[in-house]
Amino acid sequence: MTWRRTWAIARKESLHIRRDPRSLLLALAVPVVLLLLFGYALRLDVDRIPMLVRDADDSPQSRELIARFAGSRFFDVLGTVEDEARIAREMDRNRCLMALVIPPDYSRRWLRGERASIQLLFDGSDSNTASIALGYAETVLRTYAGEWQVSVLRRATGRQMKPPLDPRVRIWYNSELRSRNYIVPGLIAIILMIIAALLTSLTLAREWEMGTMEQLLSTPVRASEIVLGKMLAFFGIGLLDMLIVLVVGVVFFRVPLRGDPLLVFLMGGLFLFGALGWGLFISALVRSQVLAYQLGVITSFLPAFLLSGFIFAIENMPPVVRALTYLVPARYFIVILRGLFLKGIGLEWLVGEALFLIGYAGAVFALATRRVRRGLA
């Protein structure tokens, strides 16, 4: 391999990119559009849960319980209803997610020290949100019941009673529990995988369709020089895309970047090299721009979005699917990004992920080179 021939291929591909400003603008604008779209639209936070109340007791105790839910930032009490049939109608219309039903004997049993019952109704069509809402409701009820027991003991004994347990919760790394801080770093991996794979998946296929690949056959250029030269031309665009996404994520979405920015770019460069190599391998494999584009979407976007841990927890996947996630490079890059952004950890904690990215980049480069060599032969 000679750098002179490699640089010539890179310069040739750069001229193609410069002569097609619309594609260049698209390559630079798509990351911003995707980041803004996913960053604003995709939220995992569950708060302000709309709820209705059926208070058949109408006592100070029942009103105090309702006030506990109304005072929580996780619930939005829409109002009270006179019958439970109204609750069913409102849930059918998707106007409320849950309802609190207080029976007529609630305060009487509560003041007698007997077990008082209430009913919580949830719309389980969205099982994930309903499960989270149930956890919030149970926390409110446990806190209220615990405070009531302490007050009863204080009145009975005449002494100041303190709860036996004083929990003090401290949340590390994402203290505000903002899902955006969790989503945006993962979006960087998804966007780079999509852009890099789609850009390079068309380049060799375009050469075959335009007939210019035959010109390369008559030159002493090697397959490795073709692959590396074309990757260099798009590598700069990928780094620029990454810089744009970082600026938008940190400045506009206010995602904390606690790690070393140079380390972010170093790991991003490794991941980008592998993604570009995968796109070139696809382009050399199918020799058709339409098929290359379709295959690029299937093999880059879908695995990165579904099997990388970006949205769905890998631990909850079936064993067979969980085993497949180890072959998805975005999984390792997302771990690196979230560690650098939220935890500020160093490379010593990310050695395993970094070694996988290095191995992946080398493997796809070898596959792309071998495929191009067979085409040149």
pLDDT at 175: 73
| 289-296 and 261-286 helices, crossing angle to 10° | 140
pLDDT at 271: 93
Task: Decide if pLDDT at 356 tops 90.
Answer: yes
Range of lowest pLDDT (39-53, 82-96, 340-354): 39-53
pLDDT at 218: 65
pLDDT at 361: 92
Task: Decide if pLDDT at 315 tops 60.
Answer: yes
Task: Decide if pLDDT at 331 tops 80.
Answer: yes
Q: What is the average pLDDT across 2-21?
A: 78
pLDDT at 223: 77
Task: Decide if pLDDT at 44 tops 70.
Answer: no
Task: Decide if pLDDT at 360 tops 90.
Answer: yes
pLDDT digits (tens, 9 = 90+) for 56-86: 988 888 898 899 999 888 899 998 888 888 8
pLDDT at 50: 92
- Structural domains in the chain, CATH included, are 3-43+178-376 (no CATH), 49-157 (3.40.1710.10)
pLDDT at 200: 79
pLDDT at 147: 76
pLDDT digits (tens, 9 = 90+) for 221-271: 787 888 888 888 888 888 888 888 888 888 888 888 888 999 999 999 999
Percentage of residues in the chain having pLDDT higher than 90: 16
Q: What is the average pLDDT across 188-198?
A: 82
pLDDT at 242: 87
